[in-house]
């Protein structure tokens, strides 16, 4: 199974965004993970369009945008214009997920759907045929640097089984508390796209940390 690392810049040094982008360009990370928070769906507020445009100007990797905002359907075109190559929204934030998936695909980019750890993964099953990726949160959305929720192992296995049944080429991304000590287990459970913030940006050798996460077994 193909593996992808998506470094979450939420934990990066925002005073040096250009060199953060250049590090990611030189690394084996295929994507860059962009966490957008609105202070409503999640308590925290992060950043959005102007910062994304600055990243787009320096980063050659695919922008993997994770929207933790209410009414994501109102902003899809603007996120695309700011450089998104993939947009993932939370099931909890929309009335009609099918319509939002369609809206994202109409922009010519890929669509992902996600849920927080307290939502049964079964709610995702009807959408798996339509999306390019399922993102399974392994912490509650809102902050970097949290601890991986152990019950996530079983949830990853369940989503992997649903993907194999309905849409085997759909990607399965995990986000939250992933580091070198648990990434191999997460791959074994069935994930193939790894978001990692603190375990990359707190490392002395960030390019090495990305390499180690990619090849851990
Ligand atoms: C949390 C975000 C994550 C976060 C991951 O709401 O979705 O992408 O940056 O950070 P770590 O890897 O530090 O848990
Ligand atoms: Zn995220």
Q: What is the CATH number of the domain that holds 145?
A: 3.20.20.70
Burial class (CB in 10 A: 0-12, 13-18, 19+), 73: middle
Distance CA 62, CA 51 (A): 15
Q: Which of 5, 8, 114, 194 to mutate to test the pocket of ligand 1 (most atoms within 8 A of CB)?
A: 8
Catalytic residue among 13, 35, 38, 153: 35
Domain count for the chain, please give it: 1
Judge contact between 159 and 136, C-beta under 8 A. yes
* Cα-to-centroid distance, 44 and ligand 1 (Å): 12
d(CA 60, CA 91): 29
175 counts as catalytic: yes
* The 193-196 sheet, strands edge to edge: 4-7, 193-196, 171-175, 133-137, 110-115, 84-90, 62-68, 31-37
- 217 part of a folded domain: no
184 within some domain: yes
Q: What digits encode the pLDDT tens for the residues 71-117?
A: 999 999 999 999 999 999 999 999 999 999 999 999 999 999 999 99
Tell how far CA 108 is from the center of its chain. 18
**Residue in 144, 186, 200 to alter for ligand 1 test, most ligand atoms within 8 A of Cβ:** 144
Decide if 176 is inside a domain: yes
Q: Minimum-distance ligand to the CA of 11?
A: 1
35 in catalytic set: yes
Which residues does 22 contact at the CB level (< 8 Å), separation at least 6?
58
- Regarding the beta carbon of 177 and ligand 1, being less than 6 Å apart is answered yes
Containing structural domain, residue 129: 4-212
- Residue 61 falls inside a structural domain: yes
pTM reported for the whole predicted model: 0.98
Mean per-residue pLDDT, 26-47 = 98
Cα–Cα separations (whole angstroms), residue 150 to 89, 109, 144: 23, 32, 17
Tens of pLDDT along 117-160? 999 999 999 999 999 999 999 999 999 999 999 999 999 999 99
Asked whether residue 157 is assigned to any structural domain, the reply reads yes
Work out which ligand 1 atom sits closest to the CA atom of 200.
12
The number of angstroms, rounded, from the C-alpha of 172 to the middle of its chain's C-alpha atoms is 10
């Amino acid at each position: 199974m193909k593996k992808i690392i998506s470094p979450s810049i939420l934990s990066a040094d925002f005073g040096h965004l250009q060199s953060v982008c250049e590090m990611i360009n030189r690394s084996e990370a295929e994507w860059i993970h962009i966490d957008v928070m609105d202070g409503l769906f999640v308590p925290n507020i992060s950043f959005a369009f102007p910062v994304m445009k600055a990243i787009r100007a320096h980063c050659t990797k695919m922008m993997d945008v994770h929207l933790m905002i209410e009414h994501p359907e109102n902003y899809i075109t603007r996120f695309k214009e700011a450089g998104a190559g993939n947009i993932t929204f939370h099931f909890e934030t929309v009335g009609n997920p099918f319509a939002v998936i369609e809206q994202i695909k109409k922009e010519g980019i890929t669509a992902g759907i996600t849920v927080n750890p307290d939502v049964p993964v079964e709610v995702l099953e009807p959408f798996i045929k339509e999306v390019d990726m399922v993102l399974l949160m392994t912490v509650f959305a809102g902050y970097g640097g949290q601890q991986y929720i152990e019950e996530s192992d079983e949830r990853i296995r369940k989503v992997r089984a649903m993907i194999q049944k309905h849409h085997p080429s759909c990607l399965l991304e995990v986000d939250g508390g992933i580091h070198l000590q648990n990434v191999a287990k997460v791959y074994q459970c069935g994930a193939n796209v790894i978001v990692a913030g603190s375990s990359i940006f707190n490392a002395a050798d960030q390019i090495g940390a990305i390499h180690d996460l990619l090849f851990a077994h």
